[in-house]
Structure 1
Amino acid sequence: MNTIIETNRNLLEDHPEVEDLLSPITEVVLASAQQVKIPAGARLIRETERCQNFMWLLQGTVRVFKHSPAGREITLYRVTPGELCALSMQCLLWDEGFPAEVVAETDLVALTLSRREFDRAIDESREFRRALLKILSKRMGDIVQLVSEVTFQRLDLRLACLLGQLFERSGGEPLKITHAQIARELGTTREMVSRILKEFENQQCVRLLRGVIHLVSREGLNWFVR
């Protein structure tokens, strides 16, 4: 059996969430996809660059973000195993430059398909086209929601929501995160984040240490999002 086909088949069997997504074009993926390993912190693509490959993530997390000329950043979304990068699809479909930047938050393992093979899969599989459009539609909805939050919601509310989500993921354990990292998530300045976090601490919602945030009162934190 061809080594590439055997390797790709084993990878898909180990990641059923990706295998289901790629089922309409299994033969193309088995024959043509390449496995790649990318270290944490690597920049996958810079703004205005063109996508040369389409990637299906098997392990790890990718952060897609936008930055301003002044150096501020805001996270648009993350890609985890079983998900696809909607902006990558857009750039490949329309041969456009990427409108944001992409970085590996953790070590990554992925399958990549060349632009030529991606175009062939789009042309030959109606089911694959429908699956991609469904993913693209959902991700665009997420971005519209983000724009709405940034435009219409107070920063303290957005910060309280973010902390609530992070503490939920950590099971209430302390968060090892800096004020600058939070600012990049929310598209604001470190000074603004520090001021609001100090207010949360004064209200006995959290306790702040250098590079660490402890949860004191989940109920108190929830009060800010009402």
Structure 2
Amino acid sequence: MDEIHESLSFLSGDLIKKIEESSIIKKIPRGTEILREGQYVKVIPIVLDGLIKVFTRFSDKELLLYYIRPKESCIMSFASSLKNDPSRVFAITEEDSKVLLLPVEEVPLWIKKFPSINTLFYQQYNLRYSELLETINHVIFDKLDKRLFDYLTKKASLTGQNPLKISHRQIASELGTAREVISRVMKKLENEGLVIQHQNGIEIMIRL
């Protein structure tokens, strides 16, 4: 499985062999919920191709926390699985994805026997910590027009789409606000020449 070797090249050969023997690769269509809030984690995903978005929920509002890109994993799933706690987040594929699924019952054994696996999870902890701080800073300190524009440019960069085929309702859901608010702020960005709203998407008027 060359794609496993390519994505996990920093791990020892013996560990990669164990992963190949115990894990499965699954193709998951765009828009599939692969982890529910409150669900006990049975597998830890590593994205080989595609993109996954991870959310949290407060009351009736949802908030996008971070994206999982190729060669990355979901550290929240990892943490929940080690403690056997129900998941506090949920995850949805942003686009058609190919995912390596590690069985959680094997991971503690691998951690003891193959210390190189810690490299993977330390990297993910550092990455997600930085991204979560960035998300908190955006929510607390940035005005919504900046949050919205940063969100659009990041999504366009990650997906390679411009225009973005996305509704105001979906944007509102991912930013934890109301559709009417997004529509109003989107019009402000359009008046400033930062975006153009087409019938089939939102075009960002800068070079990504």
Matched, 1:160 2:152: no
Change (3 A) 1:162 1:54: closer
Offset at residue 167 of structure 1 (A): 5.2
Unaligned 5+ segments in structure 1 are 1-8, 220-226
Query: Match of 1:142?
Result: 131
The structure with more strand, counted as a fraction of residues = 2
C-alpha contact 2:51 2:93 (8 A) present in aligned 1: yes
Asked whether the 8 Å contact 2:152–2:204 carries over to 1, the reply is: no
Aligned partner letter, 1:29: I
* TM-score normalised per structure 1: 0.80
| Structure 2: tracts of 5 or more residues without a match | none
Flag as ranges the 4+ runs of structure 1 deviating above 4 A: 166-172
Q: Deviations over 1:150-199 (max 9, x none)?
A: 01111111112223334556889433221112212322111111111112
Number of aligned residues = 206
Deviations along 1:80-107, one digit per CA (max 9) or x if unpaired, are 2100111011112222111111112222
How many angstroms apart in 1 are the aligned matches of 2:96 and 2:158? 19
The answer to whether the 8 Å contact 1:21/1:82 transfers is no
Deviations 1:54-79 (A, max 9, x none): 22221221111123332x32111111
Q: Which residue of 2 aligns with 1:133?
A: 122
Structure 2 contact 48–100 (Cα < 8 Å) conserved: yes
The 8 Å contact of residues 46 and 98 in structure 1, kept in 2 or not, is answered as yes
Task: Quote the residue 1:75 is aligned against.
Answer: 64
Match among 197, 200, 206 for residue 208 of structure 1: 197
Cα offsets for 1:106-150 (capped at 9, x unmatched): 222222222221111111122212431232122122112211210
- Once the two structures are superposed, the pairs formed by residues 35-114 of structure 1 within 5 Å of their partners are 35-70=25-60, 72-114=61-103
Percent identical among aligned pairs is 28
How large is the RMSD of aligned CA atoms in angstroms? 2.4
Question: Are the aligned partners of 1:42 and 1:104 in contact in 2 as well (CA < 8 Å)?
Answer: yes
Taking the aligned partners of 1:113 and 1:55, their CA distance within structure 2 comes to 6
| Structure with greater proportional helix content | 1
Given that residues 178 and 211 in structure 1 are in contact (C-alpha distance below 8 angstroms), is that contact kept between their aligned partners in structure 2? no
CA distance in structure 2 between the partners assigned to 1:200 and 1:208 by the alignment: 10
Distance 1:171 1:107 in 2: 13
User: Do residues 151 (structure 1) and 140 (structure 2) align?
Assistant: yes
- State the TM-score, normalizing by the size of structure 2: 0.86
